[in-house]
Amino acid sequence: MKHVITEKIQDMQKKLLGSRSKTLILLMLSGLCVSATAEAQIPVILDDIGNPQWAAECGQTGGYDACENLADQNLKGTGIPASLHMTAYYLLQACKYGNYEMCEYAYGMAETRPESIYIRGEAAQILCLKSNHNYCVVAFALFSDSDKPTYLPQIVSQSLEVGCEKGNALSCSRLGPWYDDYKPPNGVTPDLTKALHGYSQACQVESGSDPELDDKDLASMCYFTYKYGLDVKSGSDYQDKAEEAFVRSCQFGNAETCETVMSSFFHGINGVREDQSKAAVAAERACDLGVSSGCNFVAHSLMRQEDYATALTIYGPSCESSPDSQTCTGALTAAYYATSPKDATTTKYAELACEEGDGWACFTYGYNTFWLTSNGNLPYFQKSCDLGHENGCVEVARQAEQAARNVAIDEYNERVYNEQMLPPVAIAQPPTWDDVMRASHTYWSNWKPSYCSNYTRAGQTSKVECADY
């Protein structure tokens, strides 16, 4: 007759039912002090203690009732010393011989007893294989440390493979490193196919859906999916899955990874094919994480689509907070087309871009503020020319010619002014006719009619009127 489970075991059941999540299981494991011997192993076989008839029946298929009776006898200490260790053992036997529910009791009974660690491990393994895949990762926690006598790599391997196959993400995340060829555990042969399976399955977990795997963990799983995906079947259709995992590794919030993903797809390097759409996805996430190159990529794509206004909302703040030649020139260009060439926003970003070494920006700023300075903004045009912008050089030459003309005009005006400042000079009277005649040595006193000659006084003329000369 089946023996009734005692109240203490029922209390244990309540405890287990309240702690079935893998989070609580791992928390219980974390404080365990292991002191088992190296000879212990799974499956657990101990010498029977208790009713011989029950012991004989317990070793038969379907003999779980007898196993439960032995568990109760060892729990109460009826005719034998009470032993929680043996209680857990017989609960485990009841599970092995037909009542899988008893494995949870065995697991719970053994969890606080270091000497029962193998009972606990086998119970967890059976639960992993038969019913509850959350127990699969327990073997990793109990038996994966090669520095302890409880190291059982085969049990760990089997449990992790089963757990991952059943969809336990934590098991998958442990399976990848377990078979990875980087520092493989003792006694474990590296297997990149199995490692890749673990990594790729864990990579599919959504952020926040598993309390044991944070975004950093998931990003690593996706990165190794990409890495080993290329190594195992490079060039095949699995490469697409590897590339998708590479993009996904960025989505979990690592800024540096996002920048690498963006650059890799943009240039078609690091084992992936050039894919601007995937580069854009990574760039958007990188921008969300504050990576300026990611924001620049997104803004540049918007510029190519002639969406200058939206591009300006990205380039502008980036230029103002962390000025550099790329972001500020982008902001200037976006403002130039989104607003107008001489708009105040254009002028603002032109000045910032000029400070970062853009020749066109220096010319634009000089042109837009030409009349605000007394020197025609010559320093900005000169800087524009020095930076290789041809229009800047043209403007410098024009201003040089204008300056030369201005010098000539200034010199002429100064000379005229100086002349005007001299004392006035008296204006000479025009000469009289007599003065003219005197100057030519012809005097009126010697004048005589033309028909009279100098010789009339000598009587060489017959005119009477000439006689008086």
| Confidence band for 34, pLDDT divided at 50, 70 and 90 | very low
Residue 201's pLDDT band (boundaries 50, 70, 90)?
A: very high
Contact between residue 126 and residue 118 where contact means Cβ atoms under 8 Å apart: no
- Choice among 109-113, 139-143, 283-287, 392-396 with the minimum mean pLDDT: 109-113
Q: Residue 436 burial by CB count (10 A; 0-12/13-18/19+): exposed, middle or buried?
A: exposed
- Each domain of the chain, given as residue ranges in start order, spans 1-135
pTM, two decimal places? 0.64
**Which position has the higher pLDDT, 176 or 230?**
176
pLDDT category of residue 27 using cuts at 50, 70 and 90: very low
Tokens coding 192:
């990149």
pLDDT of residue 42 exceeding 50, the answer is yes
* Residue range 365-381, pLDDT digits in tens: 999 998 877 667 889 99
Q: How is residue 211 annotated by DSSP?
A: T
Give the mean pLDDT of the chain: 82
Q: What is the pLDDT of residue 22?
A: 32
- CA-CA distance, 158 to 269, in Å (whole number)? 37
How sure is the predictor about 149, in pLDDT bands with cuts at 50, 70 and 90?
A: confident
Residues with Cβ < 8 Å from 278, sequence gap 6 or more?
243, 247, 261, 265, 272
